[in-house]
Structure 1
C-alpha cells in the first residue's frame, strides 16, 4: 500500500521560513506568514519600535537551500524567475529577499524591490545581489527595516511640532530656509499633498536672499543636501506624509541626487495645516486672510499674495512662533 509522500524540498523550505520567523521574533519584529495562495510573498514583517507599532510594513520572500547560493565574492547572486521579478518590482511594499543556508544556519537578506527599481541598471536576465555582510543574525530591527522609513519614539504634539519645524534651520546664511518654509511652500492639490524638490528649496532661499539684499549668493553643498534629506525623514517619522521611502532611497543612495516627490498628507499632516491656521489668527493679528499654509495654485487663482510677499510672511510667522512665551492653541 502506498502512502502520501513528502519531498525533502518541503523540509528545506520550511527550515528557511521557521529560521527567518525565529530570528525576526528575536529582534522584536512581527512576522505573519502567508496562510494561503503564496504567489511570490511568504509573509509580512511589521516594525515594532520601543514596544509600539508605527505602521511600517514590508513583505518577505524566503528561499532556503544551497542551490540559491551562487558565490560572487562579497555577495551572493540570486536569479529570480521573470514572473517573480515583475511581481516584486510592482509590489506596493518593500520586498525583502531572505536566503537561508540550512547547513550553516545563516540567513542573508536584501530589499529586492529596491534593486529591481534602480533605473541605471538593466535587470533583464540579471541577478539580485545579496551582500554577505547582510546577515539576519547580526542586524538590528530598525537597520533591517530601513526601507520602510524612519520612525520616531515620540509623535510630537502640534504646538511642539510646529516650533520644531520653525527652529530647524539649515545653519547656512546662503541657504536660509527652515522645515516650516519647505512645508508651507510645498503644499499642493488643495493642501492634500505636499511637493518637495531641490528647485523648491533653492527658490525659497533665493527669494530670502534677494529680499534681505544679501551679499552672499545661494550656496548648496553636502550639508545642505543632508538638511533637506533630514526634512523628508522628519515628515515621515512624525507621520505627516506617506512616502515610498524605499523608492526615495534609490535617488538618495544610488543616483546621488536630491529626491523629488509629490506625496499625500496623512491625517496628522492635514490637521497640522488646520492648526497653523488657528495659531496664525492668534499671533499674526496683522495677517491677510490668505494663510501661510495655502498652496501656490490657489494663491495665484485669487491673485494674492505673491511669493515675494508670502515667503517672508512665513518667516515672520516662524519667528513669532519661537518668540512667544505663551502656550500655543
Structure 2
C-alpha cells in the first residue's frame, strides 16, 4: 500500500504470542531478582530452555545452576481447580528435558493475574521413569510460586554449606593437627592433612585429587628442597597410613569441602583393602576455603598439579640364575624372570607384565599381563621372590625414586645406600606426561601448536644388565 504522500510502506504486526512469552520471562526474572537469585536469558536459540537461575548465598554466587523453561498464557493451564491445574507437555520436550545435565524448573505464567507457578520437571521425569506409560500431564500446585519457599527448594538441591573466616580457621587447625611423619635421617618428613589438601588441588582449584602417591610426591618435594642425599625409607603400610588418610577424609566430608562418595571410599579401604582414590569437585565451602587459605599465608593453595590417565614406565625387575663377584664388580648369569611395571599415580594402579623362561636357551613365557593395585603387586613380588637371594635380583628404576612401590622395593631389597639429591629435582615422568596431556587438550584441538610426547623408554628394556638381549615372540 502507499501512504498519503505516495511513499510505499510495509505494515507488520508483532506476534501477540511473542509479547505474552516475553511477559512470562520478565515475570520470572523479576521474581528471581527479588529473591537475590541470578536470572540469565538464553537469547541465542530456544530449544527447550529459556534461561538459567544461579543460587546465591548472601552476596556470594554459588556456581550452582538450574535451567528454566517458561510457558506463558492461559492455554497452558488445563483442568484448573482452586489448588492446581494440569500442563500437557510435548513428547519432544520431555525427551529433551530428561537429557539435561542440570535440574530444570518449568514455570507457567498466568497473564490474567501475573501469577507464576513452578514444578521441578527433572524430578517429575525421574519419578515417571517407574511408570513411563503413566499420566501425560504434569500436575502444578498453585501454592508453588516464586517466593521464599522456592528459594529454599533450590538451595536444597545442592550442598551450599558456607563457613565464615572463624570456622575456616578452625578447619585449618584441624587439618594441620592431622600429621604423618616418615623416613630416616635427612629424609625424615612430616606431612599434614592441610598439605594433602593444597597439594591435591586441580582443575583451576575446582577439584581435589587424592591418591597414595600424592603423599609420596609431597615427600619428594620436601627432600628435593633439602638438597641432601637420602636413603629412601618410607612405609606405605595400611597400619601406618589408614588412620592418617581416614582422619583427613573425615574432615573433608564433615565440613563439606568436597563432594565425596563415602561408600566408595569405605569399599576401597575395607573390601578391596587398598588406598582410596578420587577426583572430587570442591563444594562452595571448599572453594571459599581455598580463597581463605590464599589470603592467610598458604601461597601453595593453587592449582599445582597436572593430571594424566597415561601409564608410564616405572621400574623393571630382573632376576638371574646366578651372580658372581669378580675383580671388576659383579657378573650376572642368564636371566630367569623379567618384570616390567608401569604406573598411573592419579588412579593408584599399576600394569604388571611378568616373563619367565625355564632355561637359558628357551623363549620367555608371559606369566602375567594385568592391571594390579599396590598391595596385590607387593604381595606378588614377595611371594615370588621373597625367599630368593637378593644378589640375584636387580632393580632398574625408570622414574624418580620416591613412590609407594619404589619405597617398598628399597626396603624389601635391603638397600642402605642413599640416592643423590639431584635425582629428586625437576619433574617426574608422571608430571611430564600430565603436563603434556593437559597442554594437548587445551591447545591441540584448536590447531594452535603441535606437541610431541615426552621421550620415555618402552617396556620391557630389551638389553638386560647381564648383556643378554631379551627376545619376545
TM-score normalized with structure 1 length: 0.51
Instruction: Output the CA distance in 1 between the equivalents of 2:138 and 2:49.
Output: 16
Residue matched to 1:142: 152
- What does 1:55-94 correspond to in 2, within 5 Å? 55-71=63-79, 73=81, 74-94=83-103
Q: Give, in angstroms, the shift of residue 106 of structure 1.
A: 1.0
Q: Counterparts of 2:47 and 2:377 in 1: how far apart (Å)?
A: 52
Deviation string 1:66-103 (CA, Å, 9 cap, x unpaired) is 11112365432211111111111110111010111111
Q: Runs of 5+ in structure 2 lacking a partner?
A: 2-9, 178-208, 212-248, 262-276, 291-300, 302-346, 350-371, 380-473
Give 1:147 deviation, angstroms. Answer: 2.5
8 Å CA contact 1:94–1:148 kept in 2: the answer is no
Q: Report if aligned partners of 1:106, 1:136 keep a CA contact under 8 Å in 2.
A: no
Distance 2:66 2:136 in 1: 23
The within-5 A match list for 1:1-329 is: 1=1, 2-71=10-79, 73=81, 74-118=83-127, 119-122=129-132, 126-137=136-147, 139=149, 141-154=151-164, 157=168, 160=171, 163=174, 191=210, 235=253, 238-241=256-259, 264-266=279-281, 268=286, 298=373, 300-302=375-377
Residue 89 of structure 2 aligns to a residue whose secondary structure is coil
- Confirm or deny: 8 A CA contact 2:117 2:145 kept in the other structure: yes
Q: CA 1:157–1:126 in 2, change beyond 3 Å: closer, same or farther?
A: same
Kindly indicate whether the alpha-carbon contact (under 8 Å) linking 1:99 and 1:109 is maintained by their aligned counterparts in 2. Answer: yes
What is the CA deviation profile of residues 26-48 of structure 1, one whole-angstrom value per residue up to 9, with x for unaligned ones? 00000001111110000011111
State the structure with bigger RCO (CA 8 A, min sep 6), 1 or 2: 1
Q: Distance in 1 between matches of 2:80 and 2:376?
A: 58
CA distance in 2, matches of 1:13, 1:55: 27
Please, what TM-score do these two structures have when normalized by structure 2? Answer: 0.37
| Counterpart secondary structure, 2:47 | coil
RMSD of aligned C-alpha atoms? Answer: 4.2
1:114 Cα offset (Å)? 1.5
CA contact (8 A) 1:149 1:237 kept: no
More strand by share: 2
1:160-185 CA-to-partner distances (Å, cap 9, x unmatched) read 17959x9xxxxxxxxxxxxxxxxxxx
Normalized per residue, the structure richer in helix is 1
Task: Give the secondary-structure state (helix, strand or coil) at the position aligned to 1:40.
Answer: coil
Shift of 1:302: 4.9
Deviation for aligned residue 1:120: 2.5
Larger Rg: 2
Corresponding residue SS for 1:46:
strand
